[in-house]
Structure 1
Amino acid sequence: MENKTSKYFKYAIGEIILVVIGILIALSINNWNENLKDRSIEQGYLIALKEEFNYNLIELDNMMERNNFNGDKALELSNLMGPDDPTITEKEFADLAMDMTNFEVQYRPNKAVLDEIISSGKLAIFTNNELKFALSSYNGKLTKIKFQEEEHSVVRMQVIAIMNAKGNAKKLLMDEKWKGFGISKSKFELGNLQLLQSQELENELVDFIITSRYLNKDYYLELKKEIESVSRLIDKEIN
């Protein structure tokens, strides 16, 4: 009886060990399959992110160029201001004023892929911790830039307000491209050249130039470096 009992226990222990081994093997295979699935999903997201960040980099370069153009026109107009009689024509003034203020500076990147990754919790499957941190903090950097854009936008609107209040808005539309809007010529003699003698406008132009340059130098340029850095991290992870 003792011999049979001993054999029984040995047999039972062996069965338990085999079951445990089987469970461990099954778990290992399941984990391997899940990991393989995660890597496949990660690769798909990495490729999509690469395209998204490449597009955003091009858009940022375009916005920096536009912002620089606006600032240059504001600087040119500012350098013409003073108490002396204007040395430019109404048409030249209108071209500078409209070139400077016609396009608002607002960088709005495409974030569809990144937002999906974050909102779905898929960021957790990314294996590169440096990339995960960069992606998770990207929206915060965009928010910081938005505040500076809004500050610059306020100054732009103040410049426009002075021109509208003390100048002639219709005479600013002297370029051929505005004729399609159906706006007739102004019947008032007041033009816009007297604005070149406005200390108030000159002050606002100085603020416009400073906020424009500051936006490019300390915000957009830093964001560009960040996008390029993220793109390099993505490249390293793409198989």
Structure 2
Amino acid sequence: MIKFFRKIRQNLIMENRTTKYFKYAIGEIVLVVIGILIALQINTWNKERIEQKKEHTYLTNIKRDLQHQLDSIDIHLSYETIYIENAKPFLDTYFENDELVIDSSLMNNLSLLTQRKTFVSTDPTYTDLTSSGNIDLIQDQIFKDKLIVYYQNLERIEKIIQNNNSQLTDQLFITNIMGLIYYNDGSLPNSNRLIEISKRILKNEENELLLVNMTTFRQILAVGHIKLLTELKTLTNELIELVNKLL
């Protein structure tokens, strides 16, 4: 093709047809420019198509992560609910009778309160988006803003629960409760002797006060976690609905 145009130019020059040569030259330049513009447009289309495909992949993976996060939230909610259910019988009985009623069932319930569940965020896709700079592939600005705020809240709640587990449950509650009761989570045979020892320890009014306060505190902590997780669950469902509209 290039040889063909070159031959035409040479013939026009040899025939001394200058005006026609310039017209031809201009036409050739226009054709070249048009060709470049078409190539650039095709390249733009291909780039947009690739980016749209990447965006769809990211959105699909975000939806998957959110669904896994929803499962994690539900599991953690069930654990926190169990903590409340284990604390409630003891506190209800105490305040109804205004005295401690100590038996193997009480020991089992209080022992289970020393357990705690680690809450972990599920954010591999969001981490990839932010670390790679591909967050701008998400075209819907409203969704992108909500996504950023959601993962900021998720990180905050994860840290709150982790800090509470480490500083309050492990260091405060367990440290105090283990010196007051016979620890038995149901995996060991009941020991009447150890139960009697616990009764003698709890006859001390200060120890009685400490046990009631610690159990109340553990229940309040679980209630607080449930409130945070319930709010997070609502946000997660809302974000999943938005993703579904974009896919």
**Structures share fold, TM-score greater than 0.5:** yes
Quick check: 1:149–1:215 contact (8 Å CA) kept in 2?
A: yes
**Between 71-80 and 92-101, the greater mean CA deviation after superposition:** 71-80
2:198 is aligned with 1:191: yes
Partners in 2 of 1:193 and 1:93 — Cα distance? 15
**1:1-239 equivalent positions in 2, closer than 5 A:** 6-81=19-94, 85-89=99-103, 91-102=104-115, 104-150=116-162, 152-153=164-165, 154-157=167-170, 158-165=172-179, 167-168=180-181, 171-173=182-184, 175=186, 177-178=187-188, 190-191=197-198, 194-195=201-202, 198-217=208-227, 219-238=228-247
CA deviations over 1:44-98 (Å, ceiling 9, x no partner): 2222222221121011011112112212322332333469553341x11211112
Quick check: 2:119–2:162 contact (8 Å CA) kept in 1?
A: no
Q: Percent identity?
A: 25
Give the direction of change, closer, same or farther, for the CA distance of 1:147–1:52 in structure 2 (3 Å limit).
closer
Unpaired stretches in structure 1, ≥5 consecutive residues: none
Give the secondary-structure state (helix, strand or coil) at the position aligned to 2:178: helix
| Paired positions, count | 226
Partners in 1 of 2:163 and 2:211 — Cα distance? 17
* Superposed displacement of residue 6, structure 1: 4.5
Partners in 2 of 1:77 and 1:21 — Cα distance? 84
Name which one, 1 or 2, has greater alpha-carbon Rg: 2
* Superposed displacement of residue 162, structure 1: 1.3
Partners in 1 of 2:200 and 2:159 — Cα distance? 33
Over the aligned positions, Cα root-mean-square deviation in angstroms equals 2.9
TM-score, normalized by length of structure 1?
A: 0.80
Partners in 2 of 1:159 and 1:193 — Cα distance? 20
Unpaired stretches in structure 2, ≥5 consecutive residues: 1-15
Quick check: 1:86–1:193 contact (8 Å CA) kept in 2?
A: no
Give, as a single letter, the amino acid of the residue that structure 1 aligns with 2:215.
L
TM-score, normalized by length of structure 2?
A: 0.78
